[in-house]
Amino acid sequence: MTTTAPHAEGTRAPALPPDRGDLSAAVTARLRGRSGALPGPGAVAAADPYGEDVQLALHLGYELHYRGFADVPDAAEWDLGLLRLRALLEDRFEEALREECAGSATPAEVFDGLLTEPPDGGGVSRHLMRHGTLEQLREHAVLRSAHQLRESDPQAWVLPRLRGRAKAGMATVLYDEFGAGREERVHARLYAGLMRALGLDPGHGHYLPVIGAPALATANVMSLFGLHRAHRGALVGHFAVLEITSPPAASWLAAALRRCGAGEDAARYYDEHVEADAVHEQLVRREVVGGLLAEEPGLAADVAFGARATVLLEDVLAEAVTTAWRSGGTALRAPIEEA
């Protein structure tokens, strides 16, 4: 197995990745300090909302609110030109999601369906449990690193936008996600430990160049919902999906890691989620979703939309990953070593 030199995760900002089209090229050029006009509505409207160019451009814009990039000044977070472009990209992405997630299902109907079938049909986690190879487990860890190395950070944006039971319940769950007061139990840190155990570099954003649009979209939708007060209902619906579906998928992934001989350090991250998220599921449904809709019943459609959009994007990712693996290929844009 390829190994990497150990270092503390989060101690360095990632480098800007190669662009994937005109939109992401314009963003990276701006972040490197180059002047020039940024793309306008016409260019964004003509782009594939789920494509590599749009999703990378969105990810670059969102990352400025988290760790940022090496050699990019912090002030770039509030660059008005980049914010205008990001708003256009967000509108394009959201419009596509709403078109595909149209319907009248209630939040309860969406959530009840998840109790019998995970959002990806169990495609990735079940494949890994039954047939996965160690290299496929490494690829899966890389794909998920776009979010898991900042686990629950996007959801934390919603706290100031909630009140009462919803706020108390969300804070309780996030307290566990952030280690319950113990640094070594922070879930993002546990994920870094999983990556190290698999011989991967746990540096934030290190593998961005090889992570494709389907995986970026599952991370981007969290920032889309989390950064906008208007999407507080959608964020709650999204978070409920994650908590409801996490325990079974985590148990399958832990079993896959042990079957492939990855060791207990690799399985620890998923073991934690089997136990913790079984409790979180009920807390999120009863207190977070229930509390929000008790105070703001008009947000029911937004909660359902957030849940359905999450399911949609997870299904797209699962199909792309399992199709690549079943054909004997890689689920990444390039081999891990090229990151």
Mean pLDDT, the chain, integer? 92
Q: What is the CA radius of gyration of the chain?
A: 19
pLDDT tens sequence across 18-60: 999 999 999 999 999 998 899 999 999 999 999 999 999 999 9
pLDDT tens sequence across 205-243: 999 999 999 999 999 999 999 999 999 999 999 999 999
- pLDDT bracket for residue 8 (50, 70, 90): very low
Cβ atoms of residues 301 and 115 within 8 Å: no
Spell out the residues 6+ positions from residue 302 whose beta carbon is closer than 8 angstroms to its own. 231, 232, 233, 234, 237
Q: CA 204 → CA 10, 199, 200, distances in Å?
A: 6, 15, 12
Give the start-to-end residue ranges of the domains of the chain.
Answer: 22-100, 107-338
pLDDT computed for residue 298 by the predictor: 97
122 vs 277, residue with greater confidence: 277
Q: Is 58 exposed, middle or buried (0-12, 13-18, 19+ CB in 10 A)?
A: buried
Which position has the token pair 């947000």?
299
107-338 architecture in CATH?
Answer: Up-down Bundle (1.20)
Cβ atoms of residues 86 and 41 within 8 Å: no
Torsions phi, psi for 98 (to 5 deg): -65, -35
pLDDT tens sequence across 233-260: 999 999 999 998 888 899 999 999 999 9
pLDDT computed for residue 279 by the predictor: 79
Output the pTM of the full model: 0.93
Cβ atoms of residues 77 and 68 within 8 Å: yes
